[in-house]
Structures are given as C-alpha cells and as structure tokens.
Amino acid sequence: MRCSLPLAIALWLCLFTPAALGQSATLTIGGVEISTGMSSDKALAGLAACCVLKSMDTPGLWQIRDKDQHASLGTIRVENGIVTRATRNWGPPMASQEKSVELANALYGLVTHLMQKHSNVSCSLDASEMNFEPGVSQKGVDFLCDDGEMISVIIDHSLDGDTASVSEVLNLRWQRHFKRSH
C-alpha cells in the first residue's frame, strides 16, 4: 500500500480508514470477512462457526475469542440488524500483556514522533516483503517524509530466528531528491 498526504491525515487514512482510499472496508477475523453494513446475522453466524462470541455489557457488543479461549481476536458491534463496528487485534495474544504493552508503546512513540516532528511535511507509507532464499525473508514498513527522514520498521526471518527493528533514518540522497522535486 502506498499513499502520500500530510502526515496526520496519511496516518489516519492509511492505517484506519481503507474505505477512504477506495478499498473495501473489511476485516478478516478468524477467517471470516466482516464489513460494516453487512447483516449482523450473517456476521455473527460466520464468527460463531470459527470462534467463541461473548456478549459484553454494552448492548450489541461482542468479544470474539479463538476456540481455545486464550486469545481475543477482536470485537464486533451490531445495531438494528447490521454491523456498525468491528475491531481486529494485531498485537500479541492477551496472555502476553507485557509484549502487547511493548508493541503499543513502540507504535505510540513512532506515531507521536512523526506527528510532532513532521507536522508540516508530507510523508508516504509503504509496505514491502522480500524473499532472499528459502527460509530467509524480510518484511518492512517505511514512513518516508519529504524532508528526507524515514522511519523504518523491519522484521527479518532467517533459519537462525526472527529479529525486528524500528529505526529512524536520515539520508542525504532523499533530502537532495525531495529538494529538487519540490
């Protein structure tokens, strides 16, 4: 996915509202495609086949858990026979709260840093995946700003194990490129 807008808007649109970019607003939870506006009966029946649904205190709000009850997969809210909201958990399982908090703090720090430092520049968001040889691959997300700074999130997978990094990168070539093109 690639988009280029002022940073605060780009982060919101790229990360939270795919429908605004012309993509279908769907989430896959437990192998079930869920979208806002779909029939709540269809959504709940699909989720009940793969997951455990737990009614929450708020009317129409359901927690979605995997069958063994160890991981919260997300939530779904239904009103007047349609899905009005759905969430999908991306972090480590709830049983691993320490890792979840570390991940959330890193993402929070990344986004607040970008918004504070780059509030008046445009940034683009790009995701990539590369396979180098059997068993060796790399996935990454780059926030590249037109002032030449980039935040890079990289996950390396190799036969020796997985590693990850979140790095702030300055590159003179990018700075020169953006000065010429703007």
Residue ending a domain, among 73, 88, 103, is 88
* Structural domain containing residue 50: 18-88
- pTM > 0.85: no
Same domain, 59 and 111: no
Reported as a pLDDT band with limits 50, 70 and 90, residue 63 is: very high
Q: Which residue has the higher pLDDT, 72 or 120?
A: 72
In angstroms, the CA 156 to CA 154 distance is 6
Total structural domains in the chain? 2
Same domain, 45 and 110: no
Reported as a pLDDT band with limits 50, 70 and 90, residue 114 is: confident
Lowest mean pLDDT across 31-40, 41-50, 164-173: 164-173
Tokens 């509030």 -> residue = 119
| pLDDT for res 172 | 60
Measured CA angle at 58 (ends 44, 101), to 5 deg: 90
Number of continuous H segments (helices) and E segments (strands) in the chain: 4, 11
Residue ending a domain, among 57, 88, 119, is 88
Domain assignment of residue 131, yes or no: yes
- Nearest to 121, CA basis, from 146, 98, 158, 87: 146
